[in-house]
Amino acid sequence: MTVAEDFSAVAPFEIRCPAEQRVPFVFNSPHSGRHYPERFLCMARLDRIAIRRSEDCYVDELFGSAVALGAPLLAANFPRAYLDVNREPWELDPRMFAEPVPSFANIRSARVAGGLGTVPKLVGEGLDIYPARLPLSEALDRIETVYKPYHEQLKRLVTRTHARFGFAVLVDCHSMPASIRVGENGVRPDFIVGDRFGASASPALTEHAIGLLIAMGYTVAHNKPYAGGFITEHYGRPARGLHTLQIEVNRGLYMNERTLQKSAGFDALADDLARFIADLMALPEHHFYGLPLAAE
């Protein structure tokens, strides 16, 4: 079988669209994919639970209210352990492959060093995915067949939104382990809002997002330890009216990380996120225009 056949029954990603896009927002859930192709599972050394440790379980559902509120949601069906679209297209670890990687591959990024490149070497708990080196063709096929079409679709959604409304806001939706702690006191954040230290979104948007979550009673961190990955960095151009926020949700709020089952808190969190999304969309438009070029 091939990469294309891995997703012959289930599309690698899907766009959930409102009947009409009414707001200049696009939501993206790149790590919540739950379709693990049998071919991939046969290649891996991990069982069906362990291989899901990097998955942002149910994040597409948590933010699903965005569609009813008038915004499209792009959601991956392919799992993050299979391919990570929140990386540059060629962040490849040469130690993973039987043949040399292309000369233009970024083999020295911190993400590659951590085993979390475009084709990941590890899942979230530091477990090796594969028992042996992969054919380089496997990585190239995943990038050509899944990665590039995903970003083409995301770019299309953002570009159309910008053309229609004059600006666009991309909200990149993620989850994080409950073990994450921040600050000298080791506080466990419920959310982390990332804007690449001010480079990917207007300050008003970031401050508004953080303020809304705090007002709901949540503990919120800003940029640390997650300031945003490739998607936030690549699509966020606030001086051009393109704003991107990364939002990380603590998994302990809504699921059992051991069994990967939803917890009793799931529905309440989804309701809070629906209110958060509606209120975020209500930020006056003048906060998105006239930003200095230095904001990039």
27-66 pLDDT, tens digit per residue, is 999 999 999 999 999 999 999 999 999 999 999 999 999 9
Q: What is the pLDDT, as a whole number, of residue 290? A: 56
CB count in 10 Å sphere of residue 245? 25
Could you give the CA distance from residue 246 to residue 233 in angstroms, rounded to a whole number? 10
Q: Residues 215-233: what's their mean pLDDT?
A: 97
CA angle 38, 136, 57 (to 5 degrees): 40
118-171 pLDDT, tens digit per residue, is 999 999 878 999 999 999 999 999 999 999 999 999 999 999 999 999 999 999
The pLDDT-based confidence of 294 (bands split at 50, 70, 90) is very low
Residue 186 reports pLDDT greater than 90: no
Do the beta carbons of residue 200 and residue 236 sit within 8 Å?
yes
Q: Specify the 3-state DSSP secondary structure of 172.
A: strand
Q: Which two tokens stand for residue 159?
A: 């570009």
Q: What percent of the chain has pLDDT over 90?
A: 93
Alpha helices in the chain (DSSP H): 3-6, 38-43, 59-62, 65-68, 110-113, 136-142, 148-165, 203-215, 230-235, 266-281
Residue 102 reports pLDDT greater than 80: yes
CA angle 225, 150, 101 (to 5 degrees): 75
Q: What is the pLDDT, as a whole number, of residue 292? A: 58
Q: What percent of the chain has pLDDT over 70?
A: 98
Give the CA distances from residue 194 to residues 32, 118, 157, 191, 285, in Å, rounded to whole numbers and listed in that order: 18, 20, 21, 10, 21
